Structure 1
């Protein structure tokens, strides 16, 4: 596979980054990455769930910093993304994404049976994360959401049914273009998005968009089941996922330990925007705090 060959070359230049793959339950190859210091006994594990069009390699900077702080970090490219198999940005049901995450995380639990395990979900990955933690809360110690795509304020009843018709007759029709400049306000990061050959820049298809809305409607009903500790991060100028999604989490999740952090002036991908250093530090500090809490229970 051409995409895999190019990324494996990159990975060989990344300190302590290992590339591999797993077969999902549909027989598709899911490309994986892991970051862990050699001969290190990590204090906790973090699984990363990336956003639409992207891939887990986009989190290399965060993973490297966490690695240096004795975390083991893992992620995979969701099917139809990055180096994984599957038609680009096309899915019939989000349960495919969720099942793959659960399969991967179960492998990590068997590899690190006594360690706290956290999950980080950004945008679409935040929606997948919410679905995963309501289905299998037993797998996780805590959750980090970043601009989680849980609520769509732009699609009402009429637009939904128009989309349903379009997705039936033309499932691959592009309904939303890919616009890097609304994802981040940092010009260098915008250029990085444009130059990244692993990012699918074709736009969002009708069937994928319908599956996203269906997943959002379903998970909104189950958000009150979330009792795990979590933090949700959001940019005040996010035009991709409205900040109402993070407020929805705060208002409806039953977690006693929950926190929201708003980054003024930031757009969608907080780890690649004007406050990226602060956002990274917030993630590290939250993980450290909750690792210590988990350790105190042992």
Structure 2
């Protein structure tokens, strides 16, 4: 893969660091939108698959995440994060005018991507949601009912059946390993409601990927959100035994095959 490049944009709340995985002759742009507490550098393998498939890949570290500015994991308004992703899309389009754009969002990134598609779906060729935080996700309500949010970080074992994934996550200095912050949890709750009421995505093709043993973002809750969001062109892939990060799972080759097959079908439209 060609050398990774970094860009710095003026985001909603300071500098947003954007990673680019270049392609010599790209036929589409892929925007990767990472999840809570992590950073886009964890998507190196996904980006490699997409580059090999013909994409130039861009992905930001969200405010308060990774290399970007802001208090760690503090997001007070997810609409601002959507604005930042739009700025990344504009950066990509200015460098590669005329190419179709697909959006790939995981977990919290699925919430951001769903909202992006509601606001700017006519600018996208396809939407991919992996373990998305949409629909009936019960965690914010449970946490907000407490006087103090407990310091219980994400269990690395909940990410994948591959223990190396959890070990790398636990050792990653750019990953947040502390408690959630109340303003961020409140923002999650508000945005879940906003997406639920924001309408479906009409003709935009949607691929939904989820593990049926996802204990962080349970399948049944996300299904509620997918049914609210889906337009007329939904493809779903549910993986038996898979945990939260299907792109890092033991069956990731199957997941990647489904991803590129979906994109092939959509880019031929």
TM-score, length-scaled by structure 2: 0.93
Structure (1 or 2) with the larger CA radius of gyration: 1
**1:95 matched residue in structure 2:** 79
Alpha-carbon displacement from aligned partner over 1:211-262 (angstroms, at most 9, x marks no partner)? 1111101111114244311110000000011112442244233522111100
Question: Secondary structure in 1 aligned to 2:175?
Answer: coil
Matched, 1:162 2:145: yes
**1:16 matched residue in structure 2:** 3
Question: Secondary structure in 1 aligned to 2:164?
Answer: helix
Cα gap change, 1:30/1:185 in structure 2, threshold over 3 Å: closer, same or farther?
Answer: same
**2:257 matched residue in structure 1:** 281
Matched, 1:32 2:27: no
1:148 pairs with 127, 132, 145, which one? 132
Q: For residues 290 and 212 of structure 1, what CA distance do their matches in structure 2 show?
A: 30
Alpha-carbon displacement from aligned partner over 1:56-84 (angstroms, at most 9, x marks no partner)? 11111111122122211110100100111
**1:291 matched residue in structure 2:** 267
Q: 2:137 touches 2:222 (CA, 8 Å); kept in 1?
A: no
Q: 1:250 touches 1:260 (CA, 8 Å); kept in 2?
A: no
Q: For residues 253 and 151 of structure 1, what CA distance do their matches in structure 2 show?
A: 9
**1:219 matched residue in structure 2:** 195
Unaligned runs of 5+ in 1: 1-13, 294-298
1:184 pairs with 143, 160, 163, which one? 160
**2:114 matched residue in structure 1:** 130
Matched, 1:199 2:175: yes
Q: For residues 213 and 175 of structure 2, what CA distance do their matches in structure 1 show?
A: 23
1:45 pairs with 29, 50, 65, which one? 29
Q: For residues 222 and 160 of structure 1, what CA distance do their matches in structure 2 show?
A: 24
2:90 pairs with 103, 106, 115, which one? 106
Q: How does 1:64-79 map to 2 (within 5 A)?
A: 64-79=48-63
**Alpha-carbon offset, residue 176 of structure 1:** 4.4
Unaligned runs of 5+ in 2: none
TM-score, length-scaled by structure 1: 0.84
**Alpha-carbon offset, residue 25 of structure 1:** 3.7
Question: Is 249-258 or 53-62 further displaced after alignment?
Answer: 249-258
